Chain A
Amino acid sequence: MPVRDRLYISVHNRALLEKIDDILKPSHNNLERKEIFFIAMALGLDTPEEIKGKKDGLFLLKNLRDNEINLLNVCAWHHYHDVDILSDTNKVFDIAEQCANAGFKLIELAVKNHGESFIIKLMTDTQNRFK
């Protein structure tokens, strides 16, 4: 199996990303695509969901910093509890994408309910959860 060069999301989530761009644009508080992906991955860490339907490339792996790759690995370890999983990068990326796929739904809900302050809402929820 060839080694992948990018991470994917469901095509469905492309609209959500554009919506986030739109609502944050007036306040100049833009978020990078990969930042949103990692938030989604964190939110869906415990509930990965396979991406059904068409996938869309989100960002190139070469653009990830080492500590971000580490988070992908930690996500994989969370699910497999086996260090050997790290040697199977495709599996690492798959599970990260599945977690993000679940997390995007939570982000979508937050955007719907809180508009431009969705990120603050997610942050305060995180604070409450990990007090």
Chain B
Amino acid sequence: MRITKIHLQNFRQYRNCVYTFEKRANDIHIIVGENFQGKSNLLNSINWCLYNEEPHLTDKNKALAIPNTNALIEPSQDPVVPVMVELDLEDEGKKIKFVRKAQYSKQPDLNSKYRELFNKLIIQKNIGRGNNWDIIDDDELLRFEIDKYFPKNIREVFFFDGEQLSSYFKSSSTQRIKNNITLISQIQILEIIEDRLDKIITKKNSEAIGGSKDLSLLEKEILALKNSNSEISDCLESLKSELLEAKSEKERLDEVIGSIDDLTQINDQRKLLQKQIIDTQVTILEKESSLIQAAPGYIMLSYCHQDLLEFQNLISEMQKKKQIPPRIDKKLLEQSIKDDKCVVCNTKLTKAGRENIENTMESISISSEFARHLNEQASQISINLNNLLHTKELITIFMRDIHHYKEIENRLKQRLDDLDRKISSIPDLVYMTNKWNKRKEIENAIEMTTQEIGAKKAEYKRNDENITMKQGILDKELKKRGIVESLKKEIDFCRELQRVVTEAKIQLIDETREDARKITKQTFFSLHWAKESYKDVLLSENYELDVRHKSGSSCIGSLSGAERALLALSYIMAMHKISNLNLPLIIDTPIATISGTNRENFSKVLAEIGKTKELILLFTPAEYSLELQSVFNEEHATLRRLICSNGESHLEEY
């Protein structure tokens, strides 16, 4: 099948433009245009025509209405602007036209939007009966025809943005591949049969159970478990899809972030370091304060130290020489004389004892006060000397601590400086920080979703075990109660049939997957410019595509942009082949993400594909370099330049 013509009227930049794609020896059609001239809107026009959608809109165009701006503002009697995209196809001698027409009010509404008044697709088919065209306008039939020629679910395998090519096999692709293969396997009918058989089995079981309340309850439980598992399956699919999307988003962010360190972590580290510096400074201040409190004592005692020692020695010498009398309590002596007995041992005083006490009292009245003073000084000197020792120790400890904490402070400041230098070298800090924060959020989401998937799988397994167990009990009970033999045979037959259908479905998918792998591998190796580096292309049961290096190691992650694009293209070619849809390929900016000599290599691959398939390529002038021109020079069927002037796009000869 080929696209022979695309006619656009009042569709975005296109006021009235006709693309024709005449086949020559090759079927390559090249359109060269700067950005915003209408290349991506050509893809949008096809999507709009077929599905009433525009998946390739730029942000600028999203804000604009579909009708051509000039047509909207042009003064005329007509209050509406007609929009039309006509897609002409040729399929084994048959001609088919997909024509979508719409009308928009020229008068904007209160929200400044141009209201769509009418929108309708029709299909015209000419199956070789002269000029007789069958017109299809019934919605059901229209859907059928679109699914026949351009199945919406796999539209990405026939027209897409070239920038997608090199990112085609990022993590979210597994879901995409699974969807493609499931759709192409055409197992929908088997799924319907499976579902129908399930309903029949349930109905037959109910008949077999008859009026038994116990068994009816058991059956209800089984049904509830099955329903629960069905919901869990849907939930798992959705979670897996979320997980893949999150992984893909993480990969996209990783590409943006590149080799820039984790800014969230750096900011956390900065905050932690700043806090640690403040804490250390507070500790230093506390230690310094303690040091300052100890300093006066230390200074005065140090200066007096020698004198303290000498004075202590002097007093000690005086005590030895009995120059300082021992301390005697005069009041006790007076009390003893008064009571006529020793107040210490409570014995009556002798005459000699009384005289002795009276003599002692006489001598201490002269010198005891000074002696007491000297003894007191001796005692205080000891206290001061001890204080000096203690203060010296404290000061040593405080100074050592201060030194230690200052070293810590310097090290922390050094680390903070290093981080600040690292941060200041990042060109757009706020943007990158946002990206890192987003990445952290996604990482958390991935972790949570993974846990949720695990929990759901466990729940599914538990339910499944319960179903088997309850089903066993039900079967046994039915047997015991002697259910009608014919009914039992019917149930068993349905179950067996259901098993066969399920197996067939799995087998079909497996076969399709293996075919996809083989053809992808074959195409990849036949088109690769350095195929000797690789050994195999694998497509796992989980739909993960991988390329094996000749050493046997996985190398999909290290493929160049061009190689990834080639792999994607090989896979797409495989999808075309397996689906038996001989579809054209329309690629917007096919080499946008490919650099250097690989651009030429990849262009040669496209030229090769153009020998067997209609290929419409949309390039920017920068992409369509002299090297590419030399590759396509002999190969292209048409070559045109797309120019947009005064808000209207038109084609010129290149």
A interface residue numbers (CB < 8 A to B): 24, 27-29, 31, 35-36, 38-39, 41-43, 45, 66-67, 69-71, 73-75, 77-78, 83, 86-87, 119-120, 122-123, 126-127, 129-130
Contact = CB atoms under 8 A, between A and B. Distances in A.
B585 to A, nearest CB: 78
Interface in B287-334: 288-289, 291-293, 295-305, 307-308, 310-311, 314-315, 318
A43 B295 CA distance: 13
A39 B285 CA distance: 22
A120 B381 CA distance: 25
B118 to A, nearest CB: 81
Contact of B380 (A43, A69, A129): A69
Contacts of B483: none
9 nearest CB pairs, A to B: A70-B380, A42-B303, A42-B300, A35-B296, A123-B295, A38-B300, A29-B292, A78-B307, A130-B302
A29 B380 contact: no
Interface stretch (B34-42, B370-378, B632-640): B370-378
B381 A74 contact: yes
A87 B318 CA distance: 16
A31 B300 CA distance: 14
Contact of A39 (B296, B373, B376, B377): B296
A74 B296 contact: no
Contacts of A66: 376, 380, 383
B595 interface: no
Contacts of A127: 302, 395
Contacts of B381: 70, 74
Contacts of A73: 311, 377
A87 B370 contact: yes
**Among A31, A70, A87, A127: residue with most chain B CB under 10 A:** A70
Interface residues of B, number: 35
Nearest to B388: A130
B192 to A, nearest CB: 85
Given A31-B296, A70-B381, A126-B298, A43 B289 contact: no
B387 interface: yes
Contacts of B302: 42, 126-127, 129-130
Main SS class of interface, B: helix
A120 B292 contact: yes
Contacts of B502: none
Interface in B222-267: none
A67 B381 CA distance: 7
B579 interface: no
B173 interface: no
7 contacts: A31-B296, A39-B296, A42-B300, A42-B302, A71-B384, A123-B295, A129-B302
Contacts of A29: 288-289, 292-293
A86 B304 contact: no
A67 B387 contact: yes
Contacts of A70: 377, 380-381, 383-384
Contacts of B308: 74
A54 to B, nearest CB: 26
A74 B299 contact: no
**Among B293, B302, B307, B310: residue with most chain A CB under 10 A:** B307
B293 A39 contact: no
Contacts of B298: 123, 126
B304 A74 contact: yes
Interface of B: 285, 288-289, 291-293, 295-305, 307-308, 310-311, 314-315, 318, 370, 373-374, 376-377, 380-381, 383-384, 387, 395
Contacts of A75: 304, 307
Contacts of A71: 300-301, 304, 384
Contacts, number: 97
A84 to B, nearest CB: 8
A101 to B, nearest CB: 15
Contact of B295 (A67, A69, A120, A130): A120
Given A35-B296, A119-B296, A123-B395, 16 more contacts: A27-B285, A29-B288, A39-B296, A42-B300, A42-B301, A66-B376, A67-B384, A70-B380, A70-B381, A73-B311, A75-B307, A78-B307, A86-B377, A126-B299, A127-B395, A130-B305
Contacts of B384: 67, 70-71, 74
Given A66-B380, A70-B381, A83-B374, A123 B311 contact: no
Contacts of A42: 299-304
Given A41-B300, A67-B380, A28 B289 contact: yes
Contacts of A31: 292, 296
A120 B376 CA distance: 32
Contact of B299 (A24, A77, A83, A123): A123
B299 A39 contact: yes
B581 to A, nearest CB: 83
A77 B387 CA distance: 20
Contacts of A24: 292
A41 B299 CA distance: 10
Nearest to B295: A123
A87 B376 CA distance: 13
Contacts of A83: 314-315, 318, 374
Contacts of A67: 380, 383-384, 387
Contacts of B289: 27-29
A41 B383 CA distance: 19
A122 B299 contact: yes
Contacts of A27: 285, 288-289
A69 B376 CA distance: 11
A31 B318 CA distance: 38
A126 B392 CA distance: 11
Given A29-B293, A35-B296, A126-B299, A74 B307 contact: yes
A87 B369 CA distance: 10
Contacts of B311: 73-74, 77
**Among B288, B311, B374: residue with most chain A CB under 10 A:** B311
Contacts of B383: 66-67, 70
Nearest to B290: A29
A45 B305 contact: no
B374 A43 contact: no
A38 B395 CA distance: 18
A67 B388 CA distance: 12
Contacts of A39: 296, 299-300
